[in-house]
Structure 1
Amino acid sequence: MLISQYFVEFIFYSFLGWVWESIYCTIKEKKWADRGFLFGPVCPIYGSCVVATSMVFSLFPALSDPNFPIWAIFIICYLGSAVAEFGTSWVLEKRFHARWWDYSELPLNIQGRICVPVSICFGIAGVLIVKYLIPTVENLHNYTNPLVYEVLAIIIAMIFGADYALTEASLSALLGNVQQMHDEFNEKAQSNYEKVASAPKIIGQLIAEEKESVENTRERLVKAYASRLSLNQKRILISIKKFTPKLSTGLDSSPFRTELTENLRTRVRELRKFPKKK
């Protein structure tokens, strides 16, 4: 029962995190922004952090004492959120070669994964959660039949599992599309290089012609691959802050490869803003 209860809480807090992220980013970007990693309305990092906090404070009664200093709660939440953010960012980038947040432009950041100002905000939010949200939710347990948690946990677990599988498949397909687009462009660029190298006498004219050809090829490929992406792949591509896919050989992507991916993102945004008329 306890596991089911924690799992339901995890989903509930993940949903609240998604609501907060989406509202904040929508106001900041002045347009609707779905900030979830998954297709459904959840941000698992929020659910994980709040449930972990709830478990820690339950295991150590002294932490739940009304006289326990607020500044100490702040420090715990500050450090906990920083560790969770850094770890999650690192794992996601290693697994999917993408970042869903990037603090590179903010002061006192570490690799753009965490930064002091944001961690301070999470520390303050943690105090409010520990003092008000968690006690309120725990109080509701007294009025809820344990069987409800068992049933909800089973239903939600199936939906959550399907959502994760869908997201995993979409990201894998998206990486495959980017790899294919990059390889196709490289083939065209190599062909152009061979033409220039084989005709040194008219190299100036050929360079100008082939440069224009390469630009046209890039634009054509971006448009073609953008139209092939599924709705979920487009959502994922737009939601990430920094997309750095790797070569199939495992080597880090080149600046050009990243630029090509950014062009694809821009094209997807344009298609969403100005959908093609039937």
Structure 2
Amino acid sequence: MPASEISRPVVRKTLRELIVPYLLFFFAASFCGWLLEVVVYWVQHFSEFHFVELLLSYRGVLHGPWAPIYGVGAVLMVLLSQKIGKRPGRYFVVCMVVCGVVEYVTAWVLETMFHAKWWDYTGYFLNLNGRICAMSLIFFALAGMAVAYLAAPRFWRGISRIPVSGTALLCVGLTVLFLLDLALSLAAPNMGLGVQLCG
């Protein structure tokens, strides 16, 4: 089945019923991205921290268990797959470019606003100002393909079995929590493990 079909949520009747699946997908991807960050950091520092300690300390700018950069990237990858998903080679390249732009701009904004770095690729092969590198671009491009071709279709099918009222209520609850966390983090960002202050 072509990617333009499998990565599109089931067509609903109202605008609300179309937006809700994408918002829930954003939150799901944000949580998975946060969990990935925790696991990667634990693997790199397994002798220093207990995994549960990392779960409780959180990774990322926000204080809750979500990394919105992953959510934004995942939604963009799904939307792009609906346009060019039938051409995997081209889609892979576009994923690299889009993810690179998202990651670079996010890093620059965070450094400018909070004078801190939540990631730094300095020393990595083909890095640009420590904000992106070849390894991260390839990884996120591959992740984008996995999201569009594998994860998203299953996600759409799963939530299509849940009553619209249920998904809408869940979406509202998560959105309220996310906005509260965002407001708190703008005033006092999570300066947890791995964050480096800029000189």
TM-score (norm 1): 0.59
Deviations 1:13-62 (A, max 9, x none): 1001111111111111112443222111100000011011212333x2xx
1:75 aligns with 2:93: yes
Deviations 1:205-239 (A, max 9, x none): xxxxxxxxxxxxxxxxxxxxxxxxxxxxxxx3333
Bigger relative contact order (CA 8 A; separation at least 6)? 2
**CA RMSD across the alignment:** 1.7
Name the count of aligned residue pairs.
Answer: 175
Q: Which has the higher helix share?
A: 1
Within 5 Å, give how 1:155-170 maps onto structure 2: 155-170=173-188
Any unmatched runs of 5+ in structure 2? 1-15
1:55 aligns with 2:82: no
Partner of 1:13: 29
TM-score (norm 2): 0.81
2:22 is aligned with what amino acid?
Answer: Y
Distance 2:192 2:75 in 1: 29
1:153 is aligned with what amino acid?
Answer: C
Q: Retained in 2: the 8 A contact 1:18–1:36?
A: yes
Distance 1:169 1:69 in 2: 43
Moved over 6 A (4+): none
Partner of 1:118: 136
Any unmatched runs of 5+ in structure 1? 172-235, 245-257, 259-278
Distance 1:25 1:129 in 2: 22
1:37 is aligned with what amino acid?
Answer: V
Q: Retained in 2: the 8 A contact 1:98–1:240?
A: no
Partner of 2:127: 109
Distance 2:23 2:193 in 1: 25
Within 5 Å, give how 1:196-207 maps onto structure 2: none
CA shift, 1:3, in A, is 2.1
CA shift, 1:88, in A, is 0.6
Partner of 2:160: 142
Q: Retained in 2: the 8 A contact 1:13–1:50?
A: yes
**Secondary structure at 1:238 match in 2:** coil
